[in-house]
Amino acid sequence: MTVNSDFKARLSAGQEMLGVFVKTPQPIIIEILGQSGLDFMVIDAEHAPFDREAIDTAMIAGRAAGCPILVRVPKGDPETILGVLDSGAAGVMVPHVCTAEQAAALAKAVRYGPGGRGFAGTTRAADYARRGLQEHFDRTAGEVSLICQIEDPEGYENFRSIASVDGVDALFVGRADLSVSYGLRDFFARETADRCAEILGAKGAATGLYCAPNEDVAPWRRAGGSLFVIGSDHTLMTRGVAQMREAVFGSATSSKGSAR
């Protein structure tokens, strides 16, 4: 079993897993976080400067650390998905999935078959040609996960049908965009929380969401969530420094510019 197939098996079984977003295109960050006890990481290629080369390098670091790496792609076009999966990613997280038809097209793009993912036997995903064609076909089905983000009114209204699409492994609630799409400006708005809880109870796929650091995730666990992304490498660094200042000086606020 590979780290990617282990991740998919745990995802499919609804086992609770903890991850973070990675927004810094630096493999050492991946290597350090991968050895920290996280269950997975999500490279945020939607909102951070990750190009094909940076994603490829991140995968090498993830493999060295033995940690599965998902990629949140900027959009769900087959070309982007192909490159991400060839690099050895454990799967893709696709933003703004609104319909079952869109989800079905994404499921086709991550699979080998007629009109689906193009085959290359010399990629990292294929162990650089150490797998034969049939072996790679057979093993890939258990190594690649498709996670659809629900973050629009249309996606919310269709989340049950999206979750039931063959090939969709999980739904992931984009809480900030979901709030904004309903005209709200509060990440913790009651209306958004109610919608999140409803989505987390969906049948047919695992479910998860982003949580703020130190947020109580117990309600989301009770609602049925199992895939939790909490913070990012950025928040881990800024909060770590704030905690260090608090421990040393009794204040988390810097006094830059004041007399020493």
175 and 111 Cβ atoms separated by less than 8 Å: no
**Chain centre to alpha carbon of residue 24:** 15
Tell me the pLDDT tens digit for each residue of 54-70: 999 999 999 999 999 99
Comparing CA positions, the residue from 223, 240, 222 lying closest to residue 231 is 240
Catalytic residues: 47
Which amino acid appears at position 205 of this protein? A
Query: Where in the chain are the domains?
Result: 3-231
**Mean pLDDT on 143-158:** 98
Task: State pTM to two decimals.
Answer: 0.93
Encode pLDDT of 99-126 as tens digits.
999 999 999 999 998 888 998 888 999 8
**pLDDT for position 254:** 72
| Residue 54 vs residues 24, 41, 48, 57: alpha-carbon distances, Å | 10, 15, 11, 5
Q: For the domain 3-231, what is the CATH superfamily, name and number?
A: Phosphoenolpyruvate-binding domains (3.20.20.60)
